[in-house]
Chain A
Amino acid sequence: MLRTWLSLGALVAAATGGALLLRRRCERTDRGRRFFRHPTSTTGVALLTFFVLVAVGAPLVAPYDPAAQPDPVGLQNRPPSWLHPLGTDLYSHDLLSRVVFGARVSLGVGTLAMLVALTLGAVVGALAGYLGRWVDGLLMRIVDVGIAVPRMFLLLMAVALWSRLPLGTLIVLIGVTGWFGTSRLVRAEVLSLRERPFVDAARALGASTRRVIFGHVLPNAAAPLIVSAALGIGHVMLLEAALSFLGIGVRPPVASWGNMIADGRDLLTTAPWISLVPGFAIASVVMALNAVGDALRDALDPHEEAT
Chain B
Amino acid sequence: MQVAVAALAALTACGRRAECTGEYCGTLVIAGLGEPDILLPPASDDAHADAVDDQLYVKLADLGPSGNTFGDVGFVPELAERWEWDNPRTITFHLNPNARWHDGRPVRAEDVAFSFDVNTDSIVNSRARASLTKVRRVTTRDSLTVVFHFSEAYPEMFYDAVHHMRILPAHLLRTVPRDQLRTAPFGRAPVGAGCYRFVAWKAGQSLELAADSTCFLGRPHIRRLLWRFTPDPSVAVTQLVAGEADVYEYVPPQDLERVRADSQLVTYPYAGPYYTFLGFNLRARGDTSLPHPLFGDRQLRRALTLATDRQQLVQSVFGGLAKVPPGPMPLLWSTWDSTLRVMPFDSAAAVRILAANGWRDHDGDGVADREGQKLAFELLTVTTSPSRRQYARLLQEQFRRIGVAVEITELESSVMTQRMETGNYDAALVSRIGDPSPTSSIALNWLAGSSSNYTRYDNPVFAEAYARATDATTRDAALRVWRSAFQVLLDDAPAIWLYSQQVVAVVQRRVAEVRIRPDAPYALVRTWRIPADRLIDRDRVERR
Check if B234 sits within 8 Å of A251, measured CB to CB: no
Q: B410 near A: Cβ within 8 Å? A: yes
Report chain A residues within 8 Å CB of B234.
Answer: 266-269
Q: A215 near B: Cβ within 8 Å? A: no
The stretch that binds A, out of B75-83, B270-278, B394-402, B451-459, is B394-402
Contact with B along A73-100 (1 / 0, CB 8 A): 1001000000000000011100000000
Check if A91 sits within 8 Å of B254, measured CB to CB: no
A222 to chain B, nearest CB (A): 41
Question: CB < 8 Å: which of B258, B393, B409 contacts A91?
Answer: B393
On chain A, the number of residues with a Cβ less than 8 Å from chain B's Cβ atoms is 21
A64 to chain B, nearest CB (A): 13
Report chain A residues within 8 Å CB of B408.
Answer: 251-252
Check if A76 sits within 8 Å of B232, measured CB to CB: no
- A72–B314 CA distance with the chains assembled, in angstroms: 10
Check if B390 sits within 8 Å of A90, measured CB to CB: yes
Tell me the nearest residue of chain A to B396, going by C-beta: A253
Q: A16 near B: Cβ within 8 Å? A: no
Tell me the nearest residue of chain A to B309, going by C-beta: A72
Report chain B residues within 8 Å CB of A266.
Answer: 232-234, 254, 386
Report chain B residues within 8 Å CB of A92.
Answer: 316
Contact with B along A47-85 (1 / 0, CB 8 A): 000000000000000000001110011001000000000
- A79–B456 CA distance with the chains assembled, in angstroms: 45
- A72–B313 CA distance with the chains assembled, in angstroms: 7
- A67–B396 CA distance with the chains assembled, in angstroms: 10
Report chain A residues within 8 Å CB of B312.
Answer: 72-73
Check if B254 sits within 8 Å of A67, measured CB to CB: no
- A282–B394 CA distance with the chains assembled, in angstroms: 26
Check if B393 sits within 8 Å of A253, measured CB to CB: yes
Q: A17 near B: Cβ within 8 Å? A: no
Report chain A residues within 8 Å CB of B409.
Answer: 163-164
Report chain A residues within 8 Å CB of B232.
Answer: 265-266
Question: CB < 8 Å: which of A69, A164, A268 contacts B397?
Answer: A69
- A144–B232 CA distance with the chains assembled, in angstroms: 39
Check if B254 sits within 8 Å of A270, measured CB to CB: yes
Check if A76 sits within 8 Å of B316, measured CB to CB: yes
A114 to chain B, nearest CB (A): 28
Question: Which of B361-394 touch A at CB < 8 Å?
Answer: 383, 386, 390, 393-394
Q: B315 near A: Cβ within 8 Å? A: yes
Check if B315 sits within 8 Å of A69, measured CB to CB: no
Report chain B residues within 8 Å CB of A270.
Answer: 254, 257
Check if B316 sits within 8 Å of A72, measured CB to CB: yes
- A90–B397 CA distance with the chains assembled, in angstroms: 13
- A76–B238 CA distance with the chains assembled, in angstroms: 22
Known contacts A247-B410, A252-B408; is A269 also within 8 Å of B258 by CB?
Answer: yes
Known contacts A247-B410, A251-B408, A266-B234; is A72 also within 8 Å of B254 by CB?
Answer: no
A75 to chain B, nearest CB (A): 10
Question: Which of A269-297 touch B at CB < 8 Å?
Answer: 269-270
Check if A91 sits within 8 Å of B397, measured CB to CB: yes
Report chain A residues within 8 Å CB of B393.
Answer: 91, 252-253
Tell me the nearest residue of chain A to B234, going by C-beta: A266
- A92–B394 CA distance with the chains assembled, in angstroms: 10
Tell me the nearest residue of chain B to A268, going by C-beta: B234
Question: Which of B316-330 touch A at CB < 8 Å?
Answer: 316
- A151–B234 CA distance with the chains assembled, in angstroms: 31
- A96–B101 CA distance with the chains assembled, in angstroms: 62
B262 to chain A, nearest CB (A): 13
Contact with A along B233-270 (1 / 0, CB 8 A): 11000100000000000000010011000000000000
B251 to chain A, nearest CB (A): 13
Report chain B residues within 8 Å CB of A69.
Answer: 394, 397
- A270–B237 CA distance with the chains assembled, in angstroms: 13
Pick 29 A–B contacts, CB within 8 A, sort by A: A67-B400, A68-B397, A69-B394, A72-B316, A73-B312, A73-B315, A76-B316, A91-B316, A91-B394, A163-B409, A164-B409, A247-B383, A247-B410, A251-B408, A252-B396, A252-B408, A253-B393, A253-B396, A253-B400, A265-B232, A266-B232, A266-B234, A266-B254, A266-B386, A267-B234, A268-B234, A269-B238, A269-B258, A270-B257
Extra inter-chain contacts (6) besides given A73-B315, A253-B397, A268-B234, CB under 8 Å: A67-B397, A91-B394, A91-B397, A253-B396, A266-B233, A266-B234
Of all A-B residue pairs in the complex, the 9 with the closest CB atoms, nearest first, are: A72-B316, A73-B315, A69-B397, A73-B316, A266-B234, A266-B386, A91-B393, A73-B312, A72-B394
